[in-house]
Amino acid sequence: MQANSASGLAVNDECKFKFQELKARRGFRFIVFRIDEKAMEIKVERLGETSEGYDDFAAALPADECRYAVYDLDFVTDENCQKSKIFFFSWSPDTARTRSKMLYASSKDRFRRMLDGIQCEIQATDPSEMSLDIVKARTH
């Protein structure tokens, strides 16, 4: 477990292990992470099965609480090549508690850097800011 110097948060080892599994073996479609404020630790909250899609991912993010998440997006390029990119999401809805938003904001950069292999990042405060169209547009 490593402490996050900016916010004093630790990162549970499972976060890195599950991310490596998603990246290397494509064992999951997505991972949702949450900050456990009592333990002051970032933990895995939900693992999305490879059969789950983007709608399942979006539904896994709570309407009024912040989360981090990664999503492995499969897409076809203009040249008709099958590719995938790993997106990092910083989900911070307007309705979340101010303290929670500050904690997630202050921890994000270091946590994201620990997840080696992220290709795109999306910050969203509303579901419309992370629609599948917006995500797909970022693959170019």
pLDDT of 5 above 60:
no
The span from the CA of 26 to the CA of 54, in Å, is 15
User: Average pLDDT of the chain?
Assistant: 92
pLDDT of 6 above 90:
no
Cα–Cα distance list, 19 to 11, 53, 113 (Å): 12, 17, 12
The span from the CA of 85 to the CA of 83, in Å, is 7
Cα–Cα distance list, 54 to 15, 68, 113, 124, 126 (Å): 20, 15, 24, 15, 15
Return the pLDDT at 7: 53
Residues of the chain with pLDDT > 70: what percent?
94
Sequence-separated (6 or more) residues with CB below 8 Å from residue 64: 93, 95, 96
Tens digit of each residue's pLDDT (9 = 90 or more) over 64-85: 999 999 999 998 888 999 999 9
Which DSSP symbol is given to 46? E
Closest CA to 70 of 109, 138, 117: 117
Closest CA to 7 of 109, 110, 106, 100: 106
Residues of the chain with pLDDT > 90: what percent?
88
The span from the CA of 63 to the CA of 20, in Å, is 27
Tens digit of each residue's pLDDT (9 = 90 or more) over 82-127: 999 999 999 999 999 999 999 999 999 999 999 999 999 999 999 9
pLDDT of 39 above 90:
yes
pTM equals 0.92
- Which is more confidently placed, 6 or 56? 56
